Amino acid sequence: MNGTKLLRTAATLALALGTSWAQSTTTPAESFPPFERWKAAVLSADAATLKPMYSTQPPAQIRIKTVMHDADADTTFWLALKPKAMTVDFVRLIVRPTIASVIFRTEITAADGKKMSLTDDQVWQKQADQWRLVAAERTDAPQLPQPADMKKDLYPADVDARAEIKEAEERAAKGHKRLLLVFGANWCFDCHVLDLAFHRPDIAALVDPNYEVVHVDIGPDGHKNEDLAKEFGVPLDKGVPSISVAESNGTVIFSSKNGEVEDARGLTTETLADFLRKWRPQ
């Protein structure tokens, strides 16, 4: 999720504000009182409290199914739920002096008794003496499993990506496979979603026999391995994860030039499976 476009995703906004938590070893917070007040306002359907929590300068940006909306789209959604219960599991909770990243999974019991799950990715900014929501990306009823945390070291900082690709090319040639290069970073939530999907049995049955997967780190600022991204036709400004499929000799067969998998959290199982079938070796 996440190249350099200012409002493409919540994580991107954090980078644009110059406060990327990816650049430090900040210890995750135990709690974040502004979020707890937000949650309480949702549970009580308290519009008077909820709406002022969203930034007006700059206007809060809400991303739903890759489409940008204003704050009203988010407050209207939450207020209409009138949930009887709301369980929250934090995937990431990092608080800095002027900005906070809150990614959480929740199961909601609505007023009619129906249950629904969703993932929300929020960025909060300290404005004067008030914390306000400046960006959020909400995924309603996700089909792909959403990770419980982002602790997996998908993109080790000390790995030589070019050497890894060379080794993968050799394995692909022997196994009659193609390369599947996944450009991303450990701070990218969607990268963790995509990796988790690759390991579920139905998707792994398409990945393992057909592809040699290589994770290519773009680093904390999104500029690491730019030469490889260019070589394999991946425009990092479209967001990550971004994928390139290549033959064992390095010839590019496909590259996601339009952010096709950047919103991994919102992909369906069928969409991902169709993609893997389409580009597997013939």
Is residue 98 pLDDT above 80, yes or no? yes
In this structure, what CATH number is given to the domain that contains residue 230? 3.40.30.10
210 and 127 together in one domain: no
Same domain, yes or no: 171 and 245:
yes
Q: 76-97 as b/e, with b when 16 or more CB fall inside 10 Å?
A: ebbbebebeebeeebbbbbbee
* Least confident span in 109-118, 157-166, 214-223: 109-118
Q: Quick one: 131 and 173 in the same domain?
A: no
22, 96 Cβ separation under 8 angstroms: no
My answer on whether 221 and 274 are in the same domain is yes
User: Which of 93, 108, 140 is the C-terminal boundary of a domain?
Assistant: 140
At residue 188's C-alpha, the angle toward residues 182 and 189, to 5°, is 105
- Would you state the torsion angle of the CA atoms of residues 78, 84, 87, 92, taken in this order, to the nearest 10 degrees? 20
40-54, 100-114, 171-185: segment of lowest average pLDDT = 100-114
If you search the block for the tokens 């919103």, which residue do you land on? 263
Of the residues 140, 174, 196, which one is the last residue of a structural domain? 140
State the pLDDT confidence band at 2, using cuts at 50, 70 and 90.
very low
Residue 70 located in a structural domain: yes
Give the pLDDT confidence score for residue 169 in this predicted structure.
98
Residue 152 in any domain: the answer is no
3-state per-residue secondary structure call for 144-209: CCCCCCCCCCCCCCCCCHHHHHHHHHHHHHHHCCEEEEEEECCCCHHHHHHHHHHCCHHHHHHHCC
23 pLDDT band (50/70/90 cuts)? Answer: very low
Say if 4 falls within a structural domain.
no
Judgement on whether residues 17 and 122 belong to the same structural domain of the protein: yes
pLDDT at 231 over 70: yes
Beta-bridge mates of residue 64:
67, 138
Phi, psi of 176 (to 5 degrees): 55, 50
Residue 19: give the domain boundaries: 10-140
Rounded CA gap, 28 and 93, in Å?
A: 6
80 and 186, same domain (yes or no): no
pLDDT at 66: 83
**Mean of the pLDDT values across residues 182-195?**
96
Q: Kindly state whether residues 184 and 121 are assigned to the same domain.
A: no
How much is the pLDDT for 264? 95
Examine the domain organization and report whether 15 and 135 are in the same domain: yes
Examine the pLDDT at 153 and tell me if it is beyond 60. Answer: yes
Could you read off the pLDDT of 27-64 as tens digits, one per residue?
Answer: 677 899 999 999 999 999 999 999 999 999 999 999 99
184 lies in some domain: yes
Q: Is residue 78 part of a domain?
A: yes
Residue 144 predicted with pLDDT over 80:
yes
Kindly state whether residue 1 falls inside one of the protein's structural domains: no
Torsion of the alpha carbons at 112, 117, 123 and 129, rounded to the nearest 10:
40
CATH number of the domain within which 134 lies = 3.10.450.50
**What are the C-alpha distances in Å from 154 to residues 4, 194, 196, 219, 277?**
21, 11, 11, 12, 24
19: pLDDT strictly greater than 50? no
Ramachandran sector of residue 233 (left: φ over 0; alpha: ψ -120 to 50; beta: rest): left
